[in-house]
């Protein structure tokens, strides 16, 4: 049994989507970051960086923070959604791309384009342009592929929830047709639809 500590953010949704795809039982603990739940001492013991998501595996007592590490652990434990052969390293490459670029840069786009519009023309231009560039990179990778590395893996699950906030980033997915088709392919999966609403129903997955 997995204890999942999470909230309705792209990083949190990565892990709940994977757990739903795996079909393994898990308990949900809502960490409302709007109320600073992430700074509670009990949560700090599980996630020393005070960030969601985090898990505790009741099978062995292992606790983990950082969404990428959690996804790799769960996929390896259950032997699913990992690419094989050379594609494994391509999967890792795109997982790291999400954690090092797509996520952090789009997070900045959310900050300036969604929540602080008009605060800084420079920041809006900088992160808006970077968002466009990153979607172009992803669009090129998806040319001729249904999924990031061919098969559906944790790389797709990690990238998808960030793309699901395309409106916050002032991105029109129709400008990136390969991304749009990939996005719709994933959005219709029942496990993705369910995992997207953990820990509570907020909104349906946005559609282009």
**Tens of pLDDT along 3-46?**
999 999 999 999 999 999 999 999 999 999 999 999 999 999 99
Give 204's pLDDT tier (boundaries 50, 70, 90): confident
54-57/2-6 β-pairing:
antiparallel
> What is the CATH superfamily name and number for domain 2-80?
Glutaredoxin (3.40.30.10)
48-to-8, 42, 51, 103, 112 alpha-carbon distances in Å: 20, 10, 8, 20, 27
What is the topology classification, in CATH, of domain 86-189? Glutathione S-transferase Yfyf (Class Pi); Chain A, domain 2 (1.20.1050)
Distance CA 117, CA 133 (A): 20
Domain boundaries, the chain: 2-80, 86-189
**How confident is the model over 138-184, as pLDDT tens digits?**
999 999 999 999 999 999 999 999 999 999 999 999 999 999 999 99
How large is the angle between the packed helices 177-187 and 121-141, nearest 10 degrees? 80
Residue 36 in 3-state DSSP? coil
Average pLDDT, the chain: 96
pTM reported for the whole predicted model: 0.95
Contact 21, 28 (CB under 8 A): no
Matching CATH topology for 2-80 and 86-189? Answer: no
Residue 146 in 3-state DSSP? coil
pLDDT of residue 177: 98
pLDDT of residue 200: 82
* Strand boundaries in the chain, DSSP class E: 2-6, 26-30, 54-57, 62-65
Residue 203: is its pLDDT beyond 80? Answer: no
């Amino acid at each position: 049994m997995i204890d999942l500590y999470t909230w309705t953010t792209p990083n949190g949704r990565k892990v709940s989507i994977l757990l739903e795809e795996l079909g393994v039982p898990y308990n949900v603990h809502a960490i409302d970051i709007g109320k600073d739940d992430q700074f509670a001492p009990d949560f700090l013991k599980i996630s020393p960086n005070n960030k969601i998501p985090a898990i505790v595996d009741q099978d062995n007592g292992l606790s983990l923070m950082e969404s990428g590490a959690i996804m790799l652990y769960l996929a390896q434990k259950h032997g699913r959604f990992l690419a094989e052969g050379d594609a494994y390293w391509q999967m890792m490459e795109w997982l790291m791309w999400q954690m090092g670029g797509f996520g952090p840069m789009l997070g900045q786009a959310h900050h300036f384009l969604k929540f602080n519009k008009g605060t800084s023309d420079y920041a809006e231009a900088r992160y808006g342009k970077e968002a466009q560039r990153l979607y172009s990179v992803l669009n090129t990778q998806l040319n001729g592929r249904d999924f990031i590395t061919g098969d559906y893996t944790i790389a797709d699950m990690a990238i998808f929830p960030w793309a699901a906030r395309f409106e916050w980033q002032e991105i029109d997915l129709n400008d990136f047709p390969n991304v749009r088709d990939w996005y719709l392919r994933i959005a219709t999966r029942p496990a993705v639809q369910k995992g997207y609403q953990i820990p509570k129903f907020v909104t349906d997955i946005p559609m282009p």
